[in-house]
């Protein structure tokens, strides 16, 4: 259970945040359907999803998407994420 503040803010209980993988900075979407409030977490988009929005632009010897994939792979290899 949660209480609405003066500013209209509500704290989502930790067990609910954990179950639905809601983290700080996530976007939540509110929908009303038949007098029921539905709360949805919008999926975070990866930087790689931006590939192709600037068609024809190249960076170095490969496309920007390939460069981004390699940069992410290097970061994962370094940090073990």
User: pLDDT tens for residues 11-36?
Assistant: 999 999 999 888 888 889 999 999 99
Identify whether residues 1 and 20 lie together within a single domain.
yes
Number of domains composing the chain? 2
Query: Residue 1: which domain range?
Result: 1-44
Task: Calculate mean pLDDT across residues 29-48.
Answer: 84
Strand ranges (E), the chain: 28-33, 36-41, 58-59, 62-63
- Taking the C-alpha atoms of residue 66 and residue 13, their distance in angstroms, rounded to an integer, is 40
Return the higher-pLDDT residue of 31 and 50: 31
- Taking the C-alpha atoms of residue 33 and residue 38, their distance in angstroms, rounded to an integer, is 7
Identify whether residues 29 and 54 lie together within a single domain.
no
- The pLDDT of residue 58 is above 70: no
Token code pair at residue 26: 């996530």
Identify whether residues 36 and 65 lie together within a single domain.
no
Grade residue 45 by pLDDT with cuts at 50, 70 and 90.
low
Identify whether residues 38 and 15 lie together within a single domain.
yes
Identify whether residues 53 and 25 lie together within a single domain.
no
Identify whether residues 30 and 67 lie together within a single domain.
no
- The pLDDT of residue 56 is above 60: no
Identify whether residues 75 and 64 lie together within a single domain.
yes
Q: DSSP letter at 8?
A: S
pLDDT at res. 78? 80
């Amino acid at each position: 259970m949660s209480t609405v503040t003066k500013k209209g803010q509500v704290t989502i209980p930790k067990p609910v945040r954990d179950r639905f993988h809601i983290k700080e900075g996530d976007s939540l979407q509110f929908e009303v359907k038949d007098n029921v409030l539905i709360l949805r977490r919008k999926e975070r988009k990866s930087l790689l999803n931006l590939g192709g929005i600037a068609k024809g632009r190249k960076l170095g010897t490969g496309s920007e998407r390939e460069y981004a994939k390699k940069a992410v792979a290097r970061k994962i290899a370094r940090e073990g994420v």
